[in-house]
Amino acid sequence: MNTKNPNNQNVIKEFSRFSKDYNSYNQIQAQVAKQLIDKLPRDHYTAIADIGCGTGALYDRLINSEISFERLMALDASEQMLLLHPRSKKVITQYFDFNKSSSFASIKDKFDLVLSSSALQWSKDLDWTISQLAHIGDNFYGAIFTSNTFKTIHETASVSSPICTADDIKEAFDRSYKDTQYEIYRYKLYFDSKKELFNYIKKSGVSGGEQKLNYKQTKTLMREYPLDCLEFEVLFVEASN
């Protein structure tokens, strides 16, 4: 599959730059994490991996749920995000880049549950990343932003989304797992002003630093953007082997 996000280094920098602000700008990701945990079918897991764990949205939801677990490996390519992840006897935090084979090689465990929320849209090669995820555990539950996120922004600025379509993501999972199920969720986040709306994109880390509009283009986009909300589309994936 074509990589739609060649600038992954920008993504990590962007998350690291805003890691401290992340928790106050991540309403949508927090909602997505909650909905993902609500989908889990079992009430106990032995070993869980959280791919692109950030500041621990999934861990927070897990400990506030009825689900128990013995250990959780929190994996992220941003050291700053890992530093903000909650610590506990059950949690191991580890640097991990889902674009690198050395990161997958460093994982010696098999997990009975592999989770990932709001992170895999930044894979450089989703097909490859997903094939690797299938090796570290037979059950995957995840939520991935699709190219319809910020749809009207991209249309207004006449640029294409840097992330994969829902169909591309589904095809990639279908290639690596025997059983797959998908659900699309759409969200809208409303703002009082355009300034706040565009500021949110920057601070949430959702833009991934891929915006290449110059000052004039950004001004034009802010003037012509017709909505008072941002649009998000997330594909929820259940995949098993």
Give the integer Cα–Cα distance in Å for 196 and 6. 28
Piece in contact with ligand SAM (CB under 6 A), picked from 91-99, 166-174, 177-185, 190-198: 91-99
Give the integer Cα–Cα distance in Å for 33 and 116. 9
Site string for ligand SAM, 53-82 (x = CB under 6 A): xx--xx-----------------xxx--x-
Q: Are 185 and 233 in contact (CB under 8 A)?
A: yes
The correct pick among 37, 40, 45, 52 for binding ligand SAM (CB under 6 A) is 52
Binding residues for ligand SAM, how many (CB under 6 A)? 25
Tokens at 110, concatenated: 């098999």
Could you give phi then psi for residue 29, rounded to 5 degrees?
-60, -35
Among residues 101 and 193, whose Cβ is nearest to ligand SAM? Answer: 101
Burial of 102 by CB count in 10 Å (0-12 exposed, 13-18 middle, 19+ buried)? Answer: exposed
Give the integer Cα–Cα distance in Å for 231 and 124. 23
The correct pick among 4, 10, 18, 33 for binding ligand SAM (CB under 6 A) is 33
The minimum distance between CB 181 and ligand SAM, in angstroms, equals 20
DSSP 211: -
The minimum distance between CB 224 and ligand SAM, in angstroms, equals 27
- The dihedral built from the CA positions of residue 213, 214, 216 and 218, taken in this order, carries a sign that is positive
The correct pick among 69, 98, 128, 236 for binding ligand SAM (CB under 6 A) is 98
Q: Does 117 bind ligand SAM (CB under 6 A)?
A: yes
Give the integer Cα–Cα distance in Å for 168 and 126. 9
Closest residue by beta carbon to ligand SAM: 54
Q: Give Cα 111 to chain centroid, integer Å.
A: 19
Q: Are 118 and 31 in contact (CB under 8 A)?
A: no
Q: Does 173 bind ligand SAM (CB under 6 A)?
A: no
Piece in contact with ligand SAM (CB under 6 A), picked from 38-46, 63-71, 90-98, 164-172: 90-98
Locus of tokens 């706040």: 196
Among residues 26 and 139, whose Cβ is nearest to ligand SAM? Answer: 26
Q: Does 162 bind ligand SAM (CB under 6 A)?
A: no
Instruction: Give contact residues for ligand SAM (rule: CB under 6 A).
Output: 8, 11-12, 15, 26, 29, 33, 52-54, 57-58, 76-78, 81, 96-99, 117-119, 122, 205
